[in-house]
Chains A and B, each alone.
Chain A
């Protein structure tokens, strides 16, 4: 366990990043992120933990290239995800808080979505989508429309959709928060296994300390406006006692 991270070859780099919504300096301006520095190493599974409204999703959107920072630099694999938006096609995949499946597409067609953007031939696309649906236990539901699937099954489809593109970087925005604990627990375990097996770099946003401890190799605790309050790394060898200590420290940080 260590309390700081130095990542010379970061997969994701945020340098002095700030994000202000509204006109800077005006009364209505809201500073969601303030001078944030954060590096994520290749293959690392980072859990970004913080209370609701602390700016987690804003950071997420800036890494995804969906939001432009007001100041500072965001780099993913050395490139600006907002300015070089199209260059990340197939390089980055996102699992959102809710499943966000296209209701007019069947499960397998939803999984194929990212592959369609990569101009993959239809047969290969279908085979890859089928493979990921089967891996996630959805064999037999390929041709079901989202409304016919349970919440857990829909979220599995969205995970399959993210993995199918074989993107190196996975961004997850509280993907299991809308599910019951039993389903969420199973999916978390599957998700962690798949990320490790496939050597992905992942940023996982959560507001649950238990989830962060279960999923992350590293936990960064954020406090409003998105500043790092605690940064800790650990691995599979970290014992239960040490994890309890981390949990307790995170609890203390969040309580302040």
Chain B
């Protein structure tokens, strides 16, 4: 008598495909619901309140295909990235100084906490009063609004490093550069990527405010034009440019996390 091995219902590739489709479905579903609700509302409300998403789609396409319009998008993206990079470099340096010296920490912490309490719009007003150049104004606003968060996040990461691992690395007598490369950078990288993710969202909101009142180009400036024209489709299309940018960068950061943190053990039981 021969006995056949039990066969599963479908081949492995089909199961993988099904699992992938389920994952995609669950992540896309919320967007589909929002789109359907908006489209439904557009049937009953005037265009200047709820324009059809088909109109918005064509406006988005127009922004992508029109060189001058796309240059506005790129200008905003560059402003966000430059502001974040500036705040990260300055904040990282301040955090290093604060972790090395209690006196510096005691001096800077209250100042940074004070900065955190100042609204982004106030920085916009200060920048307009203090500085002449548009680009420098926006850079200043971006740095000042994201600097405290970057500093505190890097500081927390530096303080959270394992003392045991630091001692172990120290026992091999590393140079400062080697200590940074083999221990400090990999240890604080997860917190730095989280800080970038958090500050990216903040920066994309602040840049619009800065451009709205202090620039002659960029997404914020274009939004102001749409407001004056009462053009909701245009306002949505320009807003979506920033949303796309944030989604793309967040995706890239997640990809970096997946590669850089593949060493992490994953529990089969979720939190």
Spell out A's residues near B (CB within 8 Å).
64, 66, 85-86, 88-90, 92-94, 96, 98, 100, 102-106, 113-114, 116-117, 145-148, 165
Contact A165 B172 (CB under 8 A): yes
Asked whether B178 lies within 8 Å of A94 as measured between CB atoms, the reply is no
For the complex, give the distance between the alpha carbons of A199 and B183 in Å: 31
Indicate the member of A104, A117, A147, A165 with the most B CB atoms within 10 Å.
Answer: A104
Q: Please give me the residue from chain A that is nearest to B178 by CB atom.
A: A117
Query: Is B173 touching A86 in the complex (CB atoms < 8 A)?
Result: yes
3 A-B pairs with the lowest CB-CB distances in the bound complex, closest first: A147-B265, A89-B173, A100-B168
Contacts of A145 in B (CB 8 A): 262-263, 265
Contact status of A94 and B165, CB under 8 A, knowing A103-B263, A145-B263: no
In the complex, whether B182 has a CB less than 8 A from a CB of chain A is yes
Measured CB to CB, the closest approach of chain B to A148, in angstroms, equals 8
A113, B169: Cβ atoms closer than 8 Å: yes
Contacts of A96 in B (CB 8 A): 164, 167-168
B-to-A contact residues, CB < 8 Å: 164-165, 167-175, 178, 182-183, 186, 261-265
Does B264 contact A103, Cβ atoms closer than 8 Å?
yes
Q: How far is the CA of A17 from the CA of B261 in the complex (A)?
A: 44
CB-defined A-B contacts under 8 Å, sample of 20: A66-B170, A66-B171, A90-B173, A92-B171, A94-B168, A94-B171, A96-B168, A100-B165, A100-B167, A102-B182, A104-B186, A104-B263, A105-B263, A117-B172, A117-B173, A117-B175, A145-B262, A145-B263, A147-B263, A147-B265
Please name all residues of chain B whose beta carbon is closer than 8 Å to the beta carbon of A86 when the two chains form the complex. 173
Chain B residues positioned under 8 Å from A98 (CB to CB): 164
Chain B residues near A88 (CB, 8 Å)? 173
Taken together as a complex, chains A and B put the C-alpha atoms of A104 and B168 apart, in Å, by 15
Q: Which residues of A contact B169 (CB under 8 A)?
A: 102, 113
Q: How far is the CA of A165 from the CA of B172 in the complex (A)?
A: 9
A-chain residues with CB within 8 Å of residue B170 when the two chains form the complex:
66
